[in-house]
Amino acid sequence: MPKEMRPREMRPKEMNVPKEMGMSKEMKMSGPNGGGHLYMQTNEIQNCVMHYHWSASGTITEVERCATGGGGSGTFKPISGQESAPNAFEGAGSVILTPDRRFLFATNGGDNSVSSFRVGEDGGLTLVDCKPTGNAAEGKSGTAKSVAYDPSRGMLYVVHSFGPDHIRLMSVSGEGKLTPRMERYTVNTEDKPHRVPTMGVITSDGKYLLVGTTFDVPIAISGKYPDGSPILWVTGEDGKLRSVASNAPDPDGLIVFRINPDGTLGAPAFHDGGGGSPFYIAFLNNRPDTFILGYAVGDGVGIGHIDEDGRLGIGPLVPLDTSAGKPAELCWLSVSPDDRMLYATNFGYSNITTFHINGAELSVACDPACPKVPGDGTHRALCGDVSSGPSDSWITPDGCYLYQIYGNASKLVGYATKPDGSLEEIASVKIPYNSPQGLAGF
């Protein structure tokens, strides 16, 4: 990142931006009766985590903005090289909470660092640490974008868009202090040296790290046509055209690493993800061996299983309606607490599709589940549609409300969930333009 784009170095005690408002007694409560807390990173050049209170009626109130001490990419999108576009890193899980809710971790994609916050009883954040991942930020931005935390080993796994060192490790102390480690791992293969992973997820037993992917060749390398549209087909070594998307058709887009007792990773095992660009991995809440995959280019979802030996089984892809064009870029998922409903965000269509989860099967519930949210008209998705760039979503612990980022519309929208899978908009707050990403809460 150029020197002029980097935020000034600050000590941890300087990091917390004063709260814009005090927290009322209701805001200090958590749980379905009193609402709870929601966190999103701005990914601005001087990155911040925005802390919201969600009420029992689903409304959202901003509580504070806490500087991470690290830098985001701003509106710049490293994956495509666009100066201003939503979904900068093509990833998920950039803001997470530890299972005991003591700490919040956030990536800083601009300078390849991770921030650690202590979470107070009132949901307030206090910066504890900010450390580099170990990967140098080259050019205008780095690409650190997803974190997965293993509480049994005190280990944080940080995923980057660009390799070859896609995954870096950090040790986490009991006080939330971060220590970068020397280990590094890749999801590249011999004939795919430019792969783009999306996120890392740890199995509930702590045995395996699953990593999704989206591109075998990112748009920043494949390039664009004179009209600005992305080049989605490139010539392979065999002289034949092939898609830039992962797992389309090569069956190697879902990667599994065994986690060793000391937290280091074993050799990667490459699996068929079941469809083009197996972007998102969402484990069910009550069946720890079962997960759902969201396919950015496959235009649908599928159910997967992992056994104690790390073997995978992926079910058939269940498509959504693609009459508006392909790909739909179905990239983000939220699972209802009772594991009966799936909410899938369609980046290309500016809306959400819901699916029924029926044991081992999926079926469409509402498509679309909500009206399209318009952006400012400047961003086009891969299918050619003008898009508001929806990205991360989060569902409340009681399953009553779903919150969705629409970056190009500068909105965080709250929906009331309905039994038939439809969504009713009940809240909307203004957020920074194009850059925000990551949602976590309780």
Write the pLDDT tens digit of every residue in 224-267. 888 777 888 888 878 888 889 999 989 999 999 999 999 999 99
Q: Average pLDDT of the chain?
A: 92
For residue 225, the model assigns a pLDDT of 84
Please give the distance of CA 150 from its chain centroid, rounded to a whole number. Answer: 17
| Least-confidence region, from 2-6, 271-275, 392-396 | 2-6
**Residue range 110-117: mean pLDDT, rounded:** 98
Q: Among residues of the chain, what percentage have pLDDT more than 70?
A: 93
CATH class for the region spanning 3-7+24-441: mainly beta
Rounded distance between C-alpha atoms, residue 325 and residue 327, angstroms? 6
CA end-to-end span of the chain: 34
**Residue range 279-297: mean pLDDT, rounded:** 97
Residue 280 scores a pLDDT above 50? yes
Residue 15 scores a pLDDT above 50? no
Residue extents of the structural domains in the chain: 3-7+24-441
Rounded distance between C-alpha atoms, residue 214 and residue 292, angstroms? 16
Residue 13 scores a pLDDT above 50? no
For residue 99, the model assigns a pLDDT of 97
**Residue range 101-118: mean pLDDT, rounded:** 98
Write the CB contacts of 183 (distance below 8 Å, at least 6 apart in sequence): 168, 169, 264, 265
Confidence bin at 31 (pLDDT 50/70/90): low
Residue 441 scores a pLDDT above 80? yes
For residue 24, the model assigns a pLDDT of 52
Query: Is-above-0.85 flag for pTM?
Result: yes
Confidence bin at 419 (pLDDT 50/70/90): very high
> What are the tens digits of pLDDT across the range 47-89?
999 999 999 999 999 999 999 999 999 999 999 999 999 999 9
**3-state SS record for 310-371:** CCEEECCCEECCCCCCCCCCEEEEEECCCCCEEEEEECCCCEEEEEEEECCEEEEEECCCCC
Instruction: Take residue 198 and report the two structure tokens written for it.
Output: 């999306």
Confidence bin at 33 (pLDDT 50/70/90): low
> What are the tens digits of pLDDT across the range 328-383?
999 999 999 999 999 999 999 999 999 999 999 999 999 999 999 999 999 998 98
Instruction: Take residue 309 and report the two structure tokens written for it.
Output: 């030996």
Instruction: Take residue 441 and report the two structure tokens written for it.
Output: 């809460």
Rounded distance between C-alpha atoms, residue 291 and residue 303, angstroms? 6
For residue 242, the model assigns a pLDDT of 86
For residue 42, the model assigns a pLDDT of 98
For residue 235, the model assigns a pLDDT of 87
- Cα dihedral sign, 297-303-306-311: negative
Write the CB contacts of 130 (distance below 8 Å, at least 6 apart in sequence): 12, 15, 68, 69, 70, 108, 113, 114, 115, 116, 178
Residue 311 scores a pLDDT above 90? yes
For residue 329, the model assigns a pLDDT of 96
Confidence bin at 97 (pLDDT 50/70/90): very high
Alpha helices in 193-305 (DSSP H): 219-222
**Residue range 167-171: mean pLDDT, rounded:** 98
Alpha helices in 152-282 (DSSP H): 219-222
Residue type at 332 in one-letter notation: W
Residue 10 scores a pLDDT above 70? no
Give strand ranges (E) for 31-124: 36-41, 48-54, 60-67, 95-97, 103-108, 113-119
